[in-house]
Structure 1
C-alpha cells in the first residue's frame, strides 16, 4: 500500500514538474539549473539552514586548530564551498583552498571572503569531490564538506579522495542531510520527492545513508552524531555531523 502511494504521488509530482523534465530531455535544464536555479535556491535555503545549524557548526569546528601541522599552519580544503557559509567558523590565519563543481557560486563566494578577512584564501578550483587531482596527496591538514555528499556522483570515491589529500593525522569535517528512519513519514516523503527533487536541485539525493559510507571507509577514527535540522516545506530533516581522522 505504501509503495503504491509513493508511486502515485511521484506521478503527480512528475506531472507538475513536466516542463522541467522536458527541458532536461532536450538538454536545456541542466546548464540552466547549474547557472541560475540552483544558486538562486541555495542562497535562500542557506540563510534558513545556517541559522538552524549555527550551534552545531560552532560545536563541530571548535577543535579545528588541534589539527594544525607541526609547523603551526592549518591548511584547509573545502569541498563544495558554495557561497562560503563556513568561513566564519574557521580559525584566524588558516589557509583555505576552495573547490566547487559549479563555478557560478564565485560572486556570492567573494562576498563572504570579504566578510571573513581572518582567513587566508589560497585559490578556487572548479573540481568534483571525486576528482581532486589538482590537490597534491597528503598536502592538507583538514578537509571540510557540508551539504555536499548528497549530490556527489559517488560518495565512496569522494571519501577516497579526501583520504588521499589529507596528511596522516589530518581530519575530515562533515555535516550532511541523510535518509530518515524507514518507518517514518519523513522517509515516506523523501521517497515521494526523490526523483523530482534530484532533477530540480542538480543531483541532490534525499535518501543517502552517508553514515554507512563513513563507517566503512579507511579513516582510523570516526566521530559521528545523528541530529535534526528541519527546513520548512522540505523533506530534509535528519542530518549527521562529526569528523573523521586519517
Structure 2
C-alpha cells in the first residue's frame, strides 16, 4: 500500500503544479480574498452536522468563568465566527485571524450574536499573539485551525501563555486517521490538493500529539469519527487546563 500511496500522491502533485507556480508568482494571494466566502458558506453545513459535538464541548466553557465578571475568551483563527452561537451569554470575545478578509463575515455572525460582547478583531497568526497579554484570558478556543498553521506547537504555547492559571485551551480539529485505513491512504494522496483548497490545510497531521506534549496540567481529549466527508472524518475534541 505504501508504494501505491506514494505513486498516487506523485500524480496529484503533478496535477497541482499550476497551483504551485501561482503560489510562487504571488497569484495565490488572490484566493485569500475568496477563501472567507468559501468558509462562511461551508460553515453552515459543518455546524449543522457537528452541532451536537460543539454543544457538548462548549457547555464546559462555564467551568472556567471567573468568580467575578464575565468569561474572557480568545478565539484563535476565528474565521467567520461559526462558534459564536455556542458561547455563553455575556462572554467577552477577542478574535484573531491572519486573514483580514474574514472581518466582514465575522461581523455578520457577531451582529446575530447579541448575547456576546465583541472586544476586538486582531489580524495575527496563531504563532504570534503578542497583542494579547500574558495570563489575560480564561479560555482560548481553536477549532479547525491547527491543521493549517505553520507551527502547531508554537500556536499551542501561545495559547498557554495568554491563559490565566487554571484557564483552558479548547480544541476541535480534524486529524490523520490510523495508518492501516483507506482514509489514511487517501488523506496522504489528496494532501497536495487539500493544501491549496484549504489555504494551507494539512489533513495528515497528528495534532493530538502536539497538545499532549504541551505541558498542560490536565487534558480531556476525545477521538471520534465525525459525520463528514471521509477525508476529514477523523476528529479530536476536548480541552487542556493550564
TM-score, scaled relative to structure 1? 0.94
Q: Distance in 2 between matches of 1:137 and 1:215?
A: 21
2:15 aligned partner: 16
The structure 1 residue matched to 2:239, chosen from 230, 234, 243, is 243
The structure 1 residue matched to 2:64, chosen from 67, 70, 81, is 67
Cα deviation, residue 218, structure 1: 1.4
1:26 aligned partner: 25
- Kept in 2, the 8 Å contact 1:140–1:167? The answer is yes
Cα deviation, residue 16, structure 1: 3.4
1:208 aligned partner: 205
Q: Distance in 1 between matches of 2:207 and 2:114?
A: 33
Report the 3-state secondary structure (helix = DSSP H, G, I; strand = E; otherwise coil) of the residue aligned with 1:235. helix
Following TM superposition, where does structure 1 have runs of at least 4 consecutive aligned residues deviating by more than 4 angstroms?
none
Q: Distance in 1 between matches of 2:49 and 2:216?
A: 29
Cα deviation, residue 151, structure 1: 0.8
The structure 2 residue matched to 1:152, chosen from 145, 149, 152, is 149
* 1:124-177 C-alpha deviation (Å, 9 max, x unpaired): 000111110000000000110000011111111111111110000001111000
Q: Distance in 2 between matches of 1:45 and 1:230?
A: 14
* 1:182-230 C-alpha deviation (Å, 9 max, x unpaired): 0000000011011221133221111111111111111100001011114
Q: What stretches of structure 1 of length at least 5 have no aligned partner?
A: none
Does residue 218 in structure 1 map to residue 182 in structure 2?
no
Does residue 47 in structure 1 map to residue 38 in structure 2?
no
- Kept in 2, the 8 Å contact 1:33–1:201? The answer is no
- Kept in 2, the 8 Å contact 1:33–1:200? The answer is no
2:54 aligned partner: 57
Q: Distance in 2 between matches of 1:25 and 1:160?
A: 30
2:226 aligned partner: 229
Q: Distance in 2 between matches of 1:72 and 1:20?
A: 49
Report the 3-state secondary structure (helix = DSSP H, G, I; strand = E; otherwise coil) of the residue aligned with 1:241. strand
Cα deviation, residue 74, structure 1: 0.8
Cα RMSD, aligned residues only: 1.4
- Kept in 2, the 8 Å contact 1:48–1:231? The answer is no
Q: Distance in 2 between matches of 1:99 and 1:50?
A: 20
